[in-house]
Amino acid sequence: MSAVTDTVRAVQPGGAIGQSVRDSLVVAKRNLIRMSRIPEMVIFGLIQPIMFVVLFTYVFGGSIDIPGAPEGSAGPYREFLMAGIFAQTVTFATAGAGAGIADDMHKGLIDRFRSLPMARGAVLTGRTLADLVQTALTLVVLAVVALLIGWRTHESMGKVLAGFGLLLLLGYAFSWIGALIGLSVRTPEAATSGGLIWLFPLTFISNAFVPVKGMPTFLQHIAEWNPFSATVAAARQLFGNTVANQPKSLTGAWPMEQPVLASILWAVLIIVVFRTLAVRKYRSATA
């Protein structure tokens, strides 16, 4: 089989990189077709973030004061909140990515892919790209809901799109963590639980939903070095949703002083580390 595989790859134009790209796109297309045939996957993925938007805006919004904003005003909190909700939405897609890969492993689909002359990492890359497309569609719908409840941006369209681009980059990076979890557990149910349990402290010990100022000092340091917080701060900056005359960081944390650059560096680091671990796990799991 190895000799046949090498022969087939040798005649493919573009070399190993071109082969890997083509294989990844084929797998991504397969997963997108599967998602389109199961629309409830997308619908249920939308319900949770919309519920968070409504609950935080109308239940908690009136009691959370944003430093520098008029006291008791819900408008500033809506603008403060939405970057956090967007970021939470893209990271919570991690659980779905892990469950999908675990399901493919459980059904033996991965073994079928392995029997084909295709790049080893293409199966995981295709899956994460398909999840990225689904996450992008979810963000579009969620942005419309946010506009309906009063969220507004105050920067150019280019910066706003860049903000959404950083959010999608974070979601793509975290999908590789989900891929590693999906390959490390035995059932899709375990992958879903394992993909969510660590996300709750990550997203709530951050600047996403409440100002860091109200946290104990040691949590302020954790929150401001949290990669999730860096992307939230970067999105707020690019959306124009920051509060004037307020310090970017309470602890002097570099990611809060340069959130755009920090969010990119965090995402690239996560992708490099967890893609390497996931592909290695994939090879050993199917060996």
Q: Does 3 reside within a domain?
A: no
Q: Is the pLDDT of residue 27 over 80?
A: yes
pTM summary value: 0.85
What is the pLDDT at residue 15?
66
Tokens for 137, please give them: 């569609």
Tokens for 232, please give them: 């939230």
Identify the weakest region by mean pLDDT among 5-14, 26-35, 80-89, 249-258: 5-14
Residue 11: which residues within 8 A CB-CB, separation 6 or more?
A: none
Q: Does 217 reside within a domain?
A: yes
Among 126, 109, 102, smallest CA distance to 28 is for 126
Q: Does 81 reside within a domain?
A: yes
Distance CA 169, CA 180 (A): 18
Q: Does 157 reside within a domain?
A: yes
Q: Does 119 reside within a domain?
A: yes
pLDDT tens by residue, 112-145: 776 677 777 788 888 899 889 989 988 998 999 8
What is the pLDDT at residue 1?
41
pLDDT tens by residue, 220-232: 999 999 999 999 9
- Count structural domains, the chain: 1
Domain that holds residue 88: 14-285
Q: Does 204 reside within a domain?
A: yes
Q: Does 6 reside within a domain?
A: no
What is the pLDDT at residue 69?
58
Q: Does 5 reside within a domain?
A: no
